[in-house]
């Protein structure tokens, strides 16, 4: 089935959310699937909804105590333990009914996507519900209870001894949970390009975070300045990501495609447009073809302008995953369906009009700082990756 692309999604994967008023709203998933359908990009592609991750799957990267506490809290019966050290029930990670089941389904979906790719059933797979990259071994964090990429990576390592996995994260927030889970592992390369932790949650992801012990050099971080635009971000991405992936030589690439670096996103301070969210998936697609027989699993991630940005960015992601051309205009049927519910005017073009996003102040200075950061990262890690 070489060349086939799979969209891993189903209604149960839209259950992971935290209620009205919380920024993490699963309606963005439904809007994306609907937009993919309206544009005709889902024609001939079956949506696949796999089984949830098992407790055994979750325990590959999470502690038993933590999983038990999430299970108990999500059933609503009360928990005797103090949950604050575990991040459970915080403002970012409120407890909602059956949150354990909902998040286990997301982890199971990403794991299934990876297994399909590794079995050769498909070259590429997309799971937009995945990308919950902040969850730690024993702590919920940043809207994430279980770390789907962490579970998938750990399982693949067990099922394919000697496998080399590259994880590439371009969410505006540092991919901290995945990094720390594999910080000492030279067979897992984690690459994160994000807004600098000096200004944004989770406050980590500096260039000095390079791994530890046998894994030194295999954690790669490029913190970007606030207000970084498409030109600077793409320039840094193109200078860094192909270089380190070619040096590493992965057997599969997992990408986290958060689109919260967009200029309209309410939670970050970056200035990207949809141009970035077409460039990055296409570049990763090409690297997968070049380096690992096309084996690529793409996930979603952050993205909090759920009306104007997320559906278009992740439809562009699916177009890259499925080798299809992105149409020029947003279908009127989609705009009509969702426009009455949207608090903002929906765009009529699939790509942002550059005229709507004038150049940011100090763009040249920002780009120069980002360039120096990227050069520093390469100098720090390239001698260590093999």
- Active-site positions? 134
**Distance separating alpha carbons of residues 227 and 225, to the nearest angstrom:** 6
Q: What tokens were used for 279? A: 């460039």
Measured over the CA atoms of residue 259, residue 260, residue 266 and residue 271, the dihedral's sign is: negative
303-316 core/surface letters (b: 16 or more CB in 10 A; e: else): bbbbbbbbbbbbbb
**Distance separating alpha carbons of residues 288 and 245, to the nearest angstrom:** 10
- What DSSP string runs through 79-136? -SS--GGGTTTSSSS---TTHHHHHHHHHHHHHHHHHHHHTTS-SEEEETT---TT-B
Token look-up 């910080």 returns 183
Per-residue H/E/C for 229-293: EHHHHHHHHHHHHHHHHHHHCCCEEEEECCCCCECCCCCCCCEECHHHHHHHHHHHHHHHHHHCC
Nearest 10 degrees: Cα torsion 195, 196, 200, 205: 100
């Amino acid at each position: 089935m070489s060349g086939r692309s799979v969209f891993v999604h189903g209604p149960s994967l839209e259950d992971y959310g935290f209620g009205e008023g919380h920024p993490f709203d699963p309606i963005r998933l439904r809007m994306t699937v609907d937009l993919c359908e309206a544009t005709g990009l889902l024609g001939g592609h079956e949506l696949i909804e796999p089984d949830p991750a098992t407790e055994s799957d979750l325990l590959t990267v999470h502690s038993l105590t933590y999983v038990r506490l999430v299970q108990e809290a999500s059933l609503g019966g009360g928990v005797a333990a103090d949950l604050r050290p575990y991040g459970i029930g915080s403002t970012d990670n409120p407890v909602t009914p059956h949150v354990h089941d909902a998040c286990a389904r997301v982890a199971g979906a990403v794991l299934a996507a990876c297994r399909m790719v590794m079995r050769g059933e498909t070259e590429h797979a997309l799971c937009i519900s995945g990308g919950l990259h902040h969850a730690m071994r024993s702590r919920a964090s940043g809207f994430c209870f279980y770390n789907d990429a962490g579970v998938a990576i750990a399982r693949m390592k067990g099922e394919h001894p000697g496998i080399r996995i590259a994880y590439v994260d371009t969410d505006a927030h540092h991919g901290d949970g995945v990094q720390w889970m594999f910080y000492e592992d030279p067979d897992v390369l984690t690459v994160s390009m994000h807004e600098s932790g000096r200004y944004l949650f989770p406050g980590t992801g500096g260039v000095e975070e390079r791994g530890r012990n046998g894994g030194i050099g295999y954690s790669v971080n490029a913190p970007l300045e606030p207000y970084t635009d498409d030109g600077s971000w793409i320039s840094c991405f193109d200078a860094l990501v192909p270089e380190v992936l070619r040096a590493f030589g992965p057997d599969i690439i997992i990408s986290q495609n958060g689109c919260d670096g967009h200029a309209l996103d309410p939670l970050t301070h970056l200035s990207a447009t949809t141009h970035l969210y077409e460039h990055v998936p296409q570049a990763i697609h090409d690297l997968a073809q070049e380096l690992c027989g096309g084996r690529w699993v793409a996930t979603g991630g952050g993205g909090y302008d759920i009306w104007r940005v997320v559906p278009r960015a992740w439809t562009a992601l699916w177009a890259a995953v499925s080798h299809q051309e992105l149409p020029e205009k947003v279908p009127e049927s989609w705009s009509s369906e969702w426009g009455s519910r949207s608090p903002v005017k929906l765009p009529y073009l699939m790509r942002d009009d550059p005229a709507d996003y004038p150049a940011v102040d100090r763009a040249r200075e920002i780009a120069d700082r980002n360039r120096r950061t990227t050069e520093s990262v390469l100098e720090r890690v390239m001698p260590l990756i093999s």
